[in-house]
């Protein structure tokens, strides 16, 4: 079994960019950014429970990581950067911490490295269970209207919030609920230590209005990049700036290896 994905051709000799979307997104999420990086071959994936991978169910991060490995092998991807947002960023960090063959760099936008204490994990498990139950039982537009009123999305205006609700309501609620619980922060290991001992470059991207993940970025041993005029969903709110940031990161890596 492999994850569904869409590819974009690049130039010979350039490493692949493997893009992982956030919760309730799909392979389209990073395509505006990817279009501005035409030299790089790209793989835009649908994570389990999402898009054309909606029928794929997993029990945790380990299974997602194994699926990712099998998928990359199927495309004969030998050198790649992982680029992930939110849930996709957490999966990218987990996968990178397994030291996969061919990984040459990690870029995370607004991804959490893991909770630090059991009470916080318990509270998160209870919250995610409630959201998952709503996703299974209620009309998705009702659920996502509430989802995008969470504090982390406070920088969205009404039009942006309405557009996201309409887009995310195209999903399968039961599949989303299962994935939400399987990859809950309650079950994710704390990745800070493994990320500190990495042997690949790690870049962390966040919007200037995303106070929560700006604070998290300061805890990480990573190169930090602030995206102007953006909140938690920086690559959607300011794709030109995020693409320019990625281009700079990639140019520096190529220069270092030249």
Tokens of 58: 């997993």
177 located within any domain:
no
Report the pLDDT value the prediction gives residue 258, as an integer from 0 to 100. Answer: 39
245 located within any domain:
yes
106 located within any domain:
yes
Cα-based angle 43, 224, 107 (whole degrees, multiple of 5): 15
Q: Which domain holds residue 57?
A: 5-116+187-257
Report the pLDDT value the prediction gives residue 119, as an integer from 0 to 100. Answer: 97
The segments of the chain whose pLDDT lies below 70 read 253-258
Give the number of other CB atoms < 10 A from CB of residue 66.
14
Q: How many domains are contained in the chain?
A: 1
Report the pLDDT value the prediction gives residue 252, as an integer from 0 to 100. Answer: 74
Rounded to two decimals, the pTM is 0.96
178 located within any domain:
no
201 located within any domain:
yes
Could you give the CA distance from residue 19 to residue 85 in angstroms, rounded to a whole number?
8
Contact criterion met (CB below 8 Å) for 4 and 26: no
CATH value at residue 30: 3.40.50.1820
Residues in the chain: 258
Residue (of 192, 194, 205) closest to 231 by Cα position: 205
Report the pLDDT value the prediction gives residue 254, as an integer from 0 to 100. Answer: 59
Task: Give the H/E segment covering residue 223.
Answer: strand 223-227
């Amino acid at each position: 079994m492999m994850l569904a994905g869409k590819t974009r051709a690049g130039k010979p000799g350039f490493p692949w960019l493997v893009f992982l979307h956030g919760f309730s997104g799909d392979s389209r999420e990073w395509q505006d950014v990817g279009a501005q990086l035409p030299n790089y071959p790209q793989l835009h994936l649908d994570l389990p429970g999402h898009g054309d991978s909606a029928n794929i169910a997993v029990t945790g991060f380990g299974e997602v990581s194994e699926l990712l490995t099998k998928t990359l092998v199927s495309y004969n991807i030998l050198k790649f950067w992982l680029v992930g947002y939110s849930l996709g960023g957490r999966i990218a960090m987990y996968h990178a911490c397994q030291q996969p063959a061919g990984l040459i760099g990690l870029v995370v936008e607004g991804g959490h490295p893991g909770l630090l204490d059991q009470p916080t994990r318990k509270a998160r498990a209870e919250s995610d269970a409630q959201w998952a139950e709503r996703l299974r039982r209620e009309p998705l537009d009702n659920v996502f209207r509430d989802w995008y009123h969470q504090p982390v999305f406070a920088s969205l205006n009404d039009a942006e919030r309405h557009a996201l609700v309409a887009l995310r309501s195209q999903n399968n609620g039961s599949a989303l609920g299962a994935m939400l619980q399987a990859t809950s922060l309650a079950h994710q290991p704390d990745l800070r230590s493994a990320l500190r001992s990495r042997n690949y470059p790690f870049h962390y991207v966040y919007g200037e209005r995303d106070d929560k993940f700006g604070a998290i970025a300061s805890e990480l041993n990573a190169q930090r990049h602030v995206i102007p005029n953006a909140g938690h969903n920086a690559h959607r709110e300011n794709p030109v700036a995020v693409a320019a940031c990625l281009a700079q990161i990639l140019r520096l890596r190529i220069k270092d290896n030249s």
